[in-house]
Structure 1
């Protein structure tokens, strides 16, 4: 015992109890069993002795007392094999600490380090009685109770001077608050109330950062008593106006989210949610710069929360992130903000986006997740110059690589495609790097065969955006396309400088040719979407120029699908109007300039005679339509061909062709139209389409009777377009006009050649 050094650091040995006190106090500190009355006397005497020493300006006596307590009462606290004398000594020592603190009064601060060293222990390896592990021993229960009582007495005297030790005190308090012994729990609750009063009275000395970390650590514990304690202290922290939000809020927020996990207590959950609402309100009320620091100190943790299995944590985290987006200056209606602050917000959002997208993809299957993703997309539209393309692309690649079957994977797939499209809009040059094109865009073609139409629509939106992009440098992506895509009708390879638009059209046609059923099931959907996002004229002309290079049966189906969209879709209304305007203006086709749309489409449309006939009828080229109808008689009446003619009659009977039907009221003015429709009726079997067309032709008789009434007028001359003619007028004027007209006979020869090739391909070579 004599070899121990005093706490005062003067090198003197610690005195024994009997060297400092009379028998009553000495007996208690040596661990001898005493009565209740004796303990009270012992406490009073010790308190008086300490008080007298301070009045006599003798602080060394107090240090000797504390040294004596350390050596005789609190040695080997980690040893669980304690005798009854050891337990008694500890209990007496705890009572003595309270007596010393009361005796010191206002001077307690001078000795507080030594006192707290006895109660809490000098370090984490040597714990004092307040932090020592509990045991089931009855004496241990009493020691825990008295440690609360001793600390209460110290806190009552020390007040705000105790606050630097609050984090370590909370470590022990959280254990005692959930103690198995009711008396110990009650003592801990009394101590807890006192500590809260001290913090409330002296918030300026409250070291909230360190304390908040301790609270958040304890929030992970599932004991309801500990969680109740943590929620109470969190509420107190939020009520203190002087608390540094930047330092404390990130820790508190994450702690509250941890509290939501696996807590089946409705009241506890409600309290945690209420506190989270208080937190967000406190963030809202903060200055913009402070708000920015809080938002981006917690955004990463919230993104991680979105990946957790607990639904309560996920939903609450999504709501918080959505609120964060709304905090952003420049997003939605906001008050005037300095440009520098706005830039700081946008730069921080750009840094956080890759991690946020990864988190949102884990919970985007719910409505809240979709709302958050939509808000982030809107926000990203503001950040275009700050977007970190490489990091975002890497995140999207990883997410697309993890896709599996199911609705959740489908929603993630669509979200990733939306982000790719956004990056193409704002950072096209970076997105069109060869590596990104190969790794990110080429797999999009595979998405066109996805089971869900929404994925296909999103994929087409990306491809359309890619087609509209004009790269500053040559991409050199020819090798990313299959060899067939660079063939043309003459067998020559396409120039490597062809546009990205043409590259993608070629690749789309390849995909459709490889998977013919996709053209049947999704062809119209795909063309609808592309026409909605692109210039439909450019799309149709590009496809028309590519059709001669396609396999004949595929070309026929392709023309049939595109023709149906051309004549019926709202997205191609401008093309139909252009065809009519060309017809009405009678353009001089021999002049240099852009080739008329009708002539761009006509020869490729010959691969499907019914579609070519429909195109001629819409463009009011009735003479050519009549000639094509006559040539159709030479075709083998296959079921497919008859079905196409049936669809043509349905089109003629639809509102789209109301102009054509009204022209039947003037049969003398449009004889070739009448001849074409009569020829079409002769080709059809006597089924529904034939009956409909026959009824329409019966009405023409009434039109003829109507024209008889106006015989006194000059007979109407048959009109035909200046586009097409078998012969020209005599003279110089007629010769010049002939040079500017398209040779109808030549077109018909082209039609005969294409249809013969198609028949040969279908029937095989002649024997």
Structure 2
């Protein structure tokens, strides 16, 4: 029985396999297909293997490019000749074809794509065992420098997608880590290739891609920042479909997703920031506990974005803050110190009125829900709140700050006195006297409006009675007298004093 490759393949075929003319290489491939087909009909597996080994050993890894091209044509033709190639056949044929995807000759790479296309078309579900290697090869060549190779990759990629979606044995669980790692690339062609795969997988009805979203979300958001408009749109569309699914099934690892989104709200790209904030806004209704579980980090993110120059980002951050403030459960008490630290740090570093106003809203909320913890942090917060009365802040910020101060003062008599003492201390010295002259009247009037004129004046009188600096006491008393005589907020107190004076005169 003849057994060598030379005996099984005519010399004319062997010469044509490596010919410089494509037409002759094609003729050789057609002849190989017919020979393999006859041997397959005879179930002569031994001779089939010998021929394939000959094509691989002598041509597929030859130093001559035309030999390599011919080998690829013939290996694909052999697969077609087999009709229904077994796994053993494919494990012999496919590896050298995949190896040719890295060939330095672009024409060889092109023929490798064409060969694998024809092999996959014949093998169908049998090809899935090579999917990891084939995907790697496609991923690399999706950014090939030659446009004809890129076009060939697109055709092959389309077929591989068809094969995968039709194969119930496709192991998506094993594939996701590879996809996750590849999503970190920055090459636009590779990004487009990867997004198309994510979209495909998410379109398969029986595949629960939401369970894999925590592994993919960060990479998709990174692709959303691509400079290419088409790629950004593809990523945005992909994210939209995931969000639709989340809103429909309302089941996911929202904790992990929240952590990713919070991190991405600090991205330099504005679309990534805006999209992340928008998703977090949807999570308020979908998974409020996931947000509350990471509230300190989320609050820091919100406060940073409230001051953003992009109106959409500012608006989305503000909207998210309002929605979180309205959540019934409120923050877990164990998170309150962390929240207060965030507010303290943001108040120290921010010069933006919008951010300051948001901080004050949160302080007011915490005073209602966790008063004891807020009062413990008061030594750090009180000076900052008083600063907002003196830094030329917007009227709205000053009013909100004073409302918080009034809420603190309302807690008990000790804090009432503490707030007033701290306020009076701001008016000491030359700079304090200037502050009292230009802004002190308004601050004291608003405090009276919040806390009651009689209460404020009586407490201030008690403090000033024991003031060792008589000059300072006289200055403050003079300011208080002017306020008492003219301020609308003290109209009721003036009436009470006038009534008391009249009653006293009648009794004398």
TM-score category, normalised to shorter length: 0.7 to 0.9
What residue in structure 2 maps to residue 449 of structure 1? 390
Shift of 1:146: 0.7
What residue in structure 2 maps to residue 143 of structure 1? 108
Shift of 1:105: 3.3
Contact 1:464–1:533, Cα closer than 8 Å, also in 2 = yes
In the alignment, structure 2 segments of 5+ residues that lack a partner are 308-313
The answer to whether the aligner puts 1:279 opposite 2:242 as a matched pair is yes
Distance 1:282 1:538, change over 3 A: same
Separation (CA, whole Å) in 2 of partners of 1:386 and 1:320 = 26
What residue in structure 1 maps to residue 286 of structure 2? 327
- Of residues 304, 310, 313 in structure 2, which corresponds to 1:362? 304
What does residue range 51-130 of structure 1 map to in structure 2 within 5 Å?
51-57=37-43, 59=45, 71-73=57-59, 83=63, 85=64, 87-120=65-98, 128-130=99-101
What residue in structure 2 maps to residue 47 of structure 1? 33
Contact 1:98–1:153, Cα closer than 8 Å, also in 2 = yes
Separation (CA, whole Å) in 2 of partners of 1:466 and 1:165 = 68
The answer to whether the aligner puts 1:33 opposite 2:4 as a matched pair is no
What does residue range 565-644 of structure 1 map to in structure 2 within 5 Å?
575-576=492-493, 616-617=497-498, 619=499, 621-622=501-502
Separation (CA, whole Å) in 1 of partners of 2:41 and 2:57 = 26
TM norm structure 1: 0.57
Separation (CA, whole Å) in 2 of partners of 1:516 and 1:307 = 42
What residue in structure 1 maps to residue 324 of structure 2? 376
In the alignment, structure 1 segments of 5+ residues that lack a partner are 1-14, 76-81, 121-127, 329-344, 471-497, 584-615, 623-720, 728-767
What does residue range 438-517 of structure 1 map to in structure 2 within 5 Å?
438-453=379-394, 454-469=396-411, 499-514=414-429, 515-517=432-434
Distance 1:94 1:560, change over 3 A: farther
Distance 1:437 1:243, change over 3 A: same
- Of residues 222, 225, 229 in structure 2, which corresponds to 1:258? 222
Shift of 1:203: 6.8
Shift of 1:143: 0.8
Contact 1:261–1:313, Cα closer than 8 Å, also in 2 = yes
Distance 1:447 1:163, change over 3 A: farther
Considering Cα pairs closer than 8 Å and 6+ residues apart, tell me whether 1 or 2 has the greater RCO. Answer: 2
Shift of 1:555: 3.6
Contact 1:129–1:144, Cα closer than 8 Å, also in 2 = yes
Separation (CA, whole Å) in 1 of partners of 2:319 and 2:476 = 39
Separation (CA, whole Å) in 1 of partners of 2:238 and 2:167 = 22
The answer to whether the aligner puts 1:422 opposite 2:365 as a matched pair is yes
Distance 1:506 1:23, change over 3 A: same
Separation (CA, whole Å) in 1 of partners of 2:371 and 2:198 = 48
The answer to whether the aligner puts 1:548 opposite 2:428 as a matched pair is no
Contact 1:215–1:230, Cα closer than 8 Å, also in 2 = no
Q: Secondary structure at the match of 1:363?
A: helix
Shift of 1:175: 4.2
Contact 2:120–2:127, Cα closer than 8 Å, also in 1 = yes
Separation (CA, whole Å) in 2 of partners of 1:524 and 1:180 = 73
What residue in structure 2 maps to residue 641 of structure 1? none
Contact 1:199–1:206, Cα closer than 8 Å, also in 2 = no
Larger Rg: 1
Distance 1:452 1:43, change over 3 A: same
Shift of 1:166: 3.9
Shift of 1:565: 5.7
Distance 1:157 1:459, change over 3 A: same
Deviation readout 1:299-342 (Å, 9 max, x if unpaired): 222222221222222222222221222324xxxxxxxxxxxxxx
Separation (CA, whole Å) in 2 of partners of 1:396 and 1:390 = 10
Shift of 1:257: 2.5
Q: Secondary structure at the match of 1:205?
A: coil
Separation (CA, whole Å) in 2 of partners of 1:190 and 1:229 = 12
Separation (CA, whole Å) in 1 of partners of 2:489 and 2:95 = 81
Shift of 1:282: 1.9
What residue in structure 1 maps to residue 117 of structure 2? 152
Shift of 1:66: 5.4
Separation (CA, whole Å) in 1 of partners of 2:500 and 2:333 = 54
What residue in structure 2 maps to residue 23 of structure 1? 11
What residue in structure 2 maps to residue 389 of structure 1? 336
Distance 1:533 1:50, change over 3 A: farther
Shift of 1:548: 1.9
- Of residues 523, 527, 531 in structure 1, which corresponds to 2:440? 523
Separation (CA, whole Å) in 1 of partners of 2:391 and 2:133 = 58
Distance 1:556 1:171, change over 3 A: farther
Contact 1:350–1:387, Cα closer than 8 Å, also in 2 = no
What residue in structure 2 maps to residue 299 of structure 1? 258
Shift of 1:392: 2.6
What residue in structure 2 maps to residue 229 of structure 1? 193
Separation (CA, whole Å) in 2 of partners of 1:426 and 1:88 = 78
Contact 1:155–1:162, Cα closer than 8 Å, also in 2 = yes
The answer to whether the aligner puts 1:310 opposite 2:274 as a matched pair is no
Shift of 1:507: 1.5
What residue in structure 2 maps to residue 757 of structure 1? none
Distance 1:399 1:115, change over 3 A: farther
Separation (CA, whole Å) in 2 of partners of 1:536 and 1:68 = 103
Distance 1:547 1:386, change over 3 A: closer
Separation (CA, whole Å) in 2 of partners of 1:66 and 1:387 = 69
Shift of 1:467: 3.0
Deviation readout 1:607-661 (Å, 9 max, x if unpaired): xxxxxxxxx43x3624xxxxxxxxxxxxxxxxxxxxxxxxxxxxxxxxxxxxxxx
Shift of 1:199: 3.8
The answer to whether the aligner puts 1:210 opposite 2:175 as a matched pair is yes
What residue in structure 1 maps to residue 310 of structure 2? none
Shift of 1:147: 1.0
Q: Flag the structure with higher helix content.
A: 2
Contact 1:448–1:459, Cα closer than 8 Å, also in 2 = yes
Shift of 1:243: 2.5
Contact 1:159–1:198, Cα closer than 8 Å, also in 2 = yes
Separation (CA, whole Å) in 2 of partners of 1:517 and 1:559 = 15
Shift of 1:49: 4.3
